Structures are given as C-alpha cells and as structure tokens.
C-alpha cells in the first residue's frame, strides 16, 4: 500500500515536470519554435519628429490589427544602425523586411543580401537611389514632389492676393540626401521658377529637427534680417523651432513673414489656427495599413503596385481653419 502510493506520487511528479517544460497545454511544440503567420521586420529611421513618432505608432497598431508579428527597430538617425537591423532581420529569417531609409544612397550591399536570402523588401515613407531596381519590391509613401508643388502654388496665390512685387524666400530643408528633402525642394523650385517675383535667398539644412530649425533661423535672420518675406520649411518640427526666433526680432510670423510648412501635425495646425503659420501641406504618417496589406500579398506570392502614394491635402489661411478636425499626430 505504502509502496503503491510512492509509485503514484512519482508518476504524478513526472507528469508535473513534463507539463512545466512544455508550455502549451502539455502537448504540441514549444512556443519558441512556432513561426507566426507573418513575421515583418521593420527598421524605423528614428524619432526626430511628431510625424515620425505618429508613423511608428501607426505601424505598431496596424500590425496588431492584422495579427502580424512585428520586429521593430529604431535606428536613432543612423544609417549604419538601419543596415545592422536589416542584417538581423535576414539572420532571423523574417518573411518580409520593411524600412524607412534615412538617406537615399548606400543600401545596395545589404539589400543584395536580403535578395539572396529570398526576403522581399518594402520601402516605407522614403525612397532609395540604386542602379539595381530589383532590390526592393515597392515604395509606400507620400508624393514629396507634389507636396513641394502645393507649397509653391500656395505662395504664388498668396503673392497675387497681397500684390507682392518681390518675394524673398528662405528655405529650411530636411535631412540632406533624403527623399523628402530632395523632392520637396525640386517640386517647390520647379513651380516658382517662371515667376519673376520669386527669389530663393538661401536653402539651409535643418535636418528635420526643431532645435536645428531654431539654429538655422537665427543664422538666416542675422544674414538677411527684414529682407526675408517667406519661410518655406520642409517640416513642422523645424517650423516650430523657427517661429520663436522670428518673434524675438519683433516681426510677426504669419503677418510680416509668410510661413509655409509641411506635415500637418496637431501642433502646427494649432499654430495655423492662431495665424502664425499661413499654409501647412499635409504629409500623412498613416502608412501602416498599406504596409500590412502589401506584406501579406508578398507572403502570398502576389504582385504588388511598385509605388503607393496616399492622398494628401493642404490647409491654409485661404479657408476657415477653425474647422480642421483633430489630426492624431
């Protein structure tokens, strides 16, 4: 009797040990070996702006909505960190790689490694420059050239409305060699080039950062002072950095100086409502849904569109800005 009880206890102990070593209901494979339906590796370039933070949040939320497992890495504004992250995704054998390239050049080697590993790559937000078009499958992001065109078209209408004869512009540009910097600049310049009133005094790199926006604005004010009629800033963050610097000189942004910004984040829209910004061109950070849909199609071996641009608008003092709904970023 006593010996029998001992045997039962031993059996129960062994069953207990088996159960705690196999987490899923004592049967099946251990969780760590189970592959999720789709594993997406995404390298975000950094957290330089409200736009970028909104973009990261949107991608995380949409991955959850679509039941996609996301390996997210933040490169903190360094291209080498993005390259390392892509290599880790390859080593981990993710199903699809996505990344927002901080600059356009310098990706060929790592993308060739992804291609050789048979992992499709999606570009999110920004483009790359490469001779080899096979390295990526598609680009999901804004039409930055059109954003520059919209900014310039607004300025031409504003100059007409105010009857301006000479318009001196300073341009605060985004990160050098990045797609939004190059294309916003080109769209703006191409649109004003035949308008003889327009003159770009200087284009200066503000790296999409608020602190740099303030710094370069101080430099521009020291150099050109009251000659500046217009600030064309490539993102809200730099605009928000520049505005207090203009106010310190006694001039009123939005009245004495025309302010044109890009992104359309909540803070800039609030300042537009106060009358200190004249026009904000929208650049939506909500790219997550398209990214998840595209990743699923690629995993299923389906064809995808090579460029997907979201629809974007602009907000300006030509309309009743008090009605602009909450932006969410």
Stretch that binds ligand AHR, among 47-55, 129-137, 297-305, 320-328 (CB under 6 A): 47-55
φ and ψ of 254, to 5 deg: 95, -20
Residue 314 binds ligand AHR, judged by CB under 6 A: no
Least distance CB 220 / ligand AHR (angstroms) = 20
Residue 126 as a binder of ligand AHR (CB under 6 A): the answer is yes
Residues 53-92, one symbol each (x = binds ligand AHR by CB under 6 A, - = not), give ----------------------------------------
- Position among 95, 125, 171, 282 found at the interface with ligand AHR (CB under 6 A): 125
Residue 49 engages ligand AHR in binding (rule: CB under 6 A): yes
First to last CA, the chain: 72
| Rounded (10°) angle between helices 50-65 and 236-248 | 160
Inter-residue contact 290 to 140 (CB < 8 Å): yes
- Give least dist CB 82 to ligand AHR, A: 14
Shortest distance (Å) from residue 329 CB to ligand AHR:
10
Footprint of ligand AHR on 263-282 (CB under 6 A): 263
- For residues 185 and 235, which CB has a smaller minimum distance to ligand AHR in the complex? 235
Q: Which of 244, 179, 186 is nearest to 218 (CA)?
A: 244
What residues numbered 154-183 form the site for ligand AHR, per CB under 6 A?
Answer: 180
Given the complex with ligand AHR, which of 52 and 212 has the nearer CB atom? 52
When binding is defined by CB under 6 A, the residue of 38, 41, 52, 75 that contacts ligand AHR is: 52
Of 89, 99, 208, 329, the one binding ligand AHR by CB under 6 A: 208
**Total Cβ atoms within 10 A of residue 140:** 23
Q: Which of 221, 216, 167, 224 is nearest to 191 (CA)?
A: 167
Dist CA 271 CA 254 (whole Å): 10
315 part of the interface to ligand AHR, by CB under 6 A: no
CB of 186 to ligand AHR, least distance (A): 15
Question: In the window 244-263, what residues touch ligand AHR (CB under 6 A)?
Answer: 262-263
Whose Cβ is closer to ligand AHR: residue 41's or residue 180's? 180
Residue 128 CA: distances (Å) to CA of 60, 122, 323: 23, 11, 37
Burial 251-272 (b: 16+ CB within 10 A, else e): eebbeebbbbbbbbbebbbebb
User: By C-beta, is 229 or 263 nearer to ligand AHR?
Assistant: 263
Residues that bind ligand AHR (CB under 6 A): 48-49, 51-52, 125-126, 180, 208, 235, 237, 262-263, 283
């Amino acid at each position: 009797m006593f010996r029998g009880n001992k045997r039962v206890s031993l059996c129960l102990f062994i069953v207990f040990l088996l159960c705690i070593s196999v987490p899923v209901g004592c049967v099946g494979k251990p969780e760590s070996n189970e592959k999720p339906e789709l594993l997406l590796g995404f390298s975000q370039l950094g957290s330089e702006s409200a736009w970028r933070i909104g973009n990261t949040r949107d991608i995380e939320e949409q991955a959850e909505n679509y039941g996609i497992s996301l390996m997210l890495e933040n490169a903190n504004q360094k291209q080498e960190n993005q390259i390392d992250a892509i290599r880790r995704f390859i080593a981990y054998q993710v199903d699809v790689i996505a990344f927002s390239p901080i600059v356009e050049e310098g990706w060929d080697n790592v993308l060739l490694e992804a291609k050789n590993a048979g992992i499709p790559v999606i570009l999110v937000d920004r483009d790359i420059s490469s001779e080899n078009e096979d390295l990526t499958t598609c680009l999901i992001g804004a039409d930055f050239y059109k954003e520059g065109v919209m900014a310039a078209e607004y300025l031409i209408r504003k100059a007409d409305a105010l009857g301006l004869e000479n318009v001196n512009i300073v341009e605060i540009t985004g990160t050098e060699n990045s797609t939004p910097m190059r294309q916003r600049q080109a769209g703006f310049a191409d649109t004003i080039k035949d308008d003889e009133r327009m003159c770009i005094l200087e284009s200066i790199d503000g790296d999409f950062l608020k602190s740099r926006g303030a710094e370069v604005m101080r430099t521009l004010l020291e150099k050109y002072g009251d000659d500046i009629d217009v600030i064309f800033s490539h993102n809200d963050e730099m605009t928000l950095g520049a505005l207090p610097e203009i106010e310190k000189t006694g001039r009123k942004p939005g009245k004495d100086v025309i302010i044109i910004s890009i992104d359309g984040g909540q803070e800039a829209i609030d300042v537009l409502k106060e009358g200190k910004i004249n026009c904000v061109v929208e650049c939506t950070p909500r790219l997550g849904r398209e990214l998840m849909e595209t990743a699923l199609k690629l995993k299923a071996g389906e064809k995808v569109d090579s460029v997907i641009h979201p629809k974007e608008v602009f907000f300006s003092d030509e309309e009743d800005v008090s009605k602009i709904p909450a932006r969410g970023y």
